[in-house]
A and B are shown apart, each in its own frame.
Chain A
Amino acid sequence: MTRNVEDEELFAKLYVRLRRFAAVVRPPSLEAEDLVQEALARTLAARTLTSLDNPEAYLRRAIVRVAMNEQRGSRRLSARIVRLGPLPANSVDPYPSDLSELMRLSPEVRAVLYLHLVEDLPYEEVSAILGCRPAAVRQRASRGLASLRLAIEVNVEEVR
């Protein structure tokens, strides 16, 4: 079995979980599949998946980094658009639901919330996956939850 085939089989096993993760941390400009694909491509450009100790954690961190890079690029693009002038009045919000509140959080914060709340991973494990301190993970989770609660409460008030 070649390394490429081994990598493909390994990736197939990880794909569903990675895609769900990417769907949460993705920037508005990228689909979850594109994000996974880009993270996988950058990983494969440097090494094989089977050579990694924990390929899932590695790919998850790569996904967050690609998402953050993309988000930075989007911000630069937005700044240029602002300089050019306002968007047409009929432009639509890409997240016309309460998901938009979630997507306003940074990819790192979303990653923390997803891994902790959905996958039930303790903060220590989340910090190991994302490569940051447990204290920083707790802080991000706390801030993310606080800002989400505030946004959701505001929406509820607006509906009433």
Chain B
Amino acid sequence: MTEMRELLERAADSGAAADAAQLFRNAAVRARRLRRRRRVVVTAVPAVLAVVAIALWWVQGGTPSQQVSVSPPPDGPPATRAAEKPDVVTGGTQQQGEWPVETRLFSDGSGWLITDHRLLHTDDGGVTWAASSLSLSTPVPAAANATAAAIVDGQHAWVVVPDAENAQVLIMSTSDGGRFLITDVVSIEFTPAHVSIDFVDANTGFLGISDSDRSPARSVLLSTTDGGHFWQVVARDGPASGLRFSSATDGWATGKGLHRTSDGGHSWTQLHPPGWDRTGGPDPAAPTYDIVWKEGRRGVVQSSYSGGNFVSIAFLETSDNGETWRDITPPDLQHIARTGPQPHLAVVGPNRFRVLVDGVSSAAKQNELLTSDDGGVTWSSVVTDVSFTLSSLWYTSPDVAWLTALPVDCGDEGCGPPLWQSQDGGRSWVTVDGIPGLRESSPSQRAVSVSSFDELVGVEYFDPPPLPPGAVYLGGGLLGDIDAIPVYRFGHAQQGDTLAIWFDVAVAQAAFSPNSATWRTLDVVTVDVGQNSLRPDTCFINGEYDTSIVAVIVSPMNVERQRPTYAWRFNTATQHAEALDVRDIACDIPHP
């Protein structure tokens, strides 16, 4: 050990020390340059991009785009034809599979649209959009559904992307409306799968990184007080998802339950909204929470309880920082088991709630708008003129509402516009144009979370999935939607293995091969697509109740005897289904 110490001492004493005062003056000058650097880039980037854009436009034949309406940066050069070609401005490549991650519009007209590829900024309430100078997909192209973003105002935004391969998280930030992005890297000790970020103001923020969204085993919470220049570890293996802070000390987080901190995340107290201890479903951490709105001691959360193949939802409000709760779920939505799209709640202000319900549950198959201005005591309903599967809903004023729609009605021409705006409080909606690339995008091979299976990651395929060479692919092509419910599938195939299963939630069928050579189509009676379905969470297999069973398949010849032949358990570590040796099984059989 002495030898080591001597070695380190020698290293510490190596070289000649410079004058401290001179070094400080040099550092102060460089610090001023670092601060000024953003301003320099702000003025330089539009000019450089304009030159590049003009050149590319010229090479491409100089045909002006008719559909594009992106405005030049406010303090940039005068509008040119180059500024009318934002695809060129952002690098000239078609963005495939691009989808909104976070959108926010402010009352002064400024706003953001952050996709999994780009960061777009508007100064005119979303009429025109300008792309940032850096493509978000540059560092981690495959992290589409894991991206998180925090938006403070029209100038400050942060985008976080987990890089699981390198056990690090990329943080991109801007303080000038997206014209210049700073990329920073935070290395962590586990594989990041989920990130959450929230900023109280332009300086104070929190970043949560975990290895899972709902049931993390490893997590770390970091905080910054200088806008993200430096992040320091606040807590480990505690709540780190769904971060929502109302001050530098007070905040909420989700993960295994709903939690509250009053010391900046160092310690957390679990909150107990109604139904917090509800158990019996396949997810031991149920119910899960999404923080819809938080302002001071008031807040609204969405509670989702997974009962296997359905999710029941409740909207809960507190005005004393989580000590007591009130169920504000509209009466029409209570006791509804959902297998697909969910209702979305937006808070216009204290006691002013809006719920947009997908078309599945309404008789007209169009989205239904529920309105309450008395804290959820009474609700009024109106059928809208559209039918969406919502991704997010928010209001910038009681009249002006925005939403992003999920890619449901995808055909060969794409999935339809993802961003919509309403000027009448949500009754009628129009598409928001002027965002090149977004409209033409498709979610080909883009993983989406399946809300009806918390344990599964469903994959909505436009094309055959990327299977190992030689593996057998069952199914193919998107079946489309059934009564506006997106078709979710879970597939698994292996070559040279005894297990190969593919089941389709929508059509309730599966194919099974005991040897990867011969295939039999079997009825799936476990997936909750009708009234007479078995639910795997009602099955006792080999005398035990196993909450991780995700599929039970009955071969046709055994249907009458109601003895399923095969069962699978989903292994969250390997993300694969594992076949079970079923010796004995008993399931509840629901009756119509």
Contacts and interface: CB of A to CB of B under 8 A. Distances in A.
A19 B27 CA distance: 14
Interface in B1-41: 1, 3-5, 7-15, 17-18, 20-21, 23-28, 30-32, 34-35
Contact of B12 (A24, A68, A131): A24
Interface string A128-150: 00011100100000000100110
A46 B34 CA distance: 9
Contacts of A99: 7, 10-11, 14
Interface string A97-125: 01100110000001001100110000000
B569 interface: no
B5 A23 contact: no
Interface string A64-86: 01001000000000000000000
Contacts of B232: 61, 131
Nearest to B34: A45
A152 to B, nearest CB: 7
A34 to B, nearest CB: 9
Given A8-B21, A98-B7, A21 B27 contact: no
A33 to B, nearest CB: 4
Contacts of A43: 31
Contact of B27 (A37, A65, A132): A37
A118 B9 CA distance: 7
A36 B22 CA distance: 12
Nearest to B12: A20
Contacts of A110: 8, 11
B194 to A, nearest CB: 20
Contacts of A20: 12-13
Contacts of B9: 118
Contact of B7 (A12, A23, A102): A102
Contacts of A65: 230
Interface in A1-51: 4, 7-8, 11-12, 15-16, 19-21, 23-24, 31-33, 36-38, 40-47
Nearest to A17: B12
A31 B229 contact: no
Contacts of A103: 11
B24 A12 contact: yes
Contacts of B28: 4, 41, 44
Given A32-B15, A41-B34, A46-B229, A24 B8 contact: yes
B364 interface: no
B24 A7 contact: yes
A33 B17 contact: yes
Given A33-B17, A37-B23, A45-B34, A21 B226 contact: no
A118 B511 CA distance: 65
Nearest to B26: A37
Nearest to B32: A45
A46 B227 contact: yes
Most chain-A CB neighbours within 10 Å: which of B27, B189, B233? B27
Contacts of B492: none
A152 B17 contact: no
A46 B13 contact: no
Contacts of B23: 15, 33, 36-37, 40
B563 interface: no
B222 to A, nearest CB: 9
Given A21-B12, A132-B233, A16 B189 contact: no
A106 to B, nearest CB: 10
A15 B12 contact: no
Nearest to B222: A131
B233 A41 contact: no
B576 interface: no
B34 to A, nearest CB: 4
A58 B5 contact: no
B236 interface: yes
B35 A11 contact: no
A31 B226 CA distance: 27
Most chain-A CB neighbours within 10 Å: which of B4, B25, B227, B232? B4
B383 to A, nearest CB: 52
A12 B20 contact: yes
Nearest to A115: B8
A31 B32 CA distance: 22
A62 B34 CA distance: 15
A116 B194 CA distance: 34
B27 A58 contact: no
B8 A40 contact: no
A133 B233 CA distance: 9
Given A45-B229, A46-B226, A99-B14, A152 B31 contact: no
Contacts of B236: 133
Contacts of B31: 40-45
Contact of B20 (A11, A32, A68, A136): A11
Nearest to B20: A15
Nearest to A120: B5
B11 A40 contact: no
Given A31-B15, A45-B35, A117-B1, A37 B30 contact: yes
B8 A102 contact: yes
A44 B10 contact: no
Contacts of B34: 41-42, 45
Contacts of A58: 230
12 contacts: A23-B14, A37-B26, A41-B27, A41-B34, A44-B28, A45-B32, A46-B229, A61-B232, A62-B230, A99-B10, A110-B8, A118-B12
Closest 4 CB pairs of A and B: A44-B31, A41-B30, A20-B12, A40-B27
Interface of A: 4, 7-8, 11-12, 15-16, 19-21, 23-24, 31-33, 36-38, 40-47, 58, 61-62, 65, 68, 98-99, 102-103, 110, 113-114, 117-118, 131-133, 136, 145, 148-149, 152
Given A4-B28, A41-B28, A46-B230, 7 more contacts: A11-B24, A23-B11, A33-B15, A33-B23, A38-B27, A45-B32, A99-B14
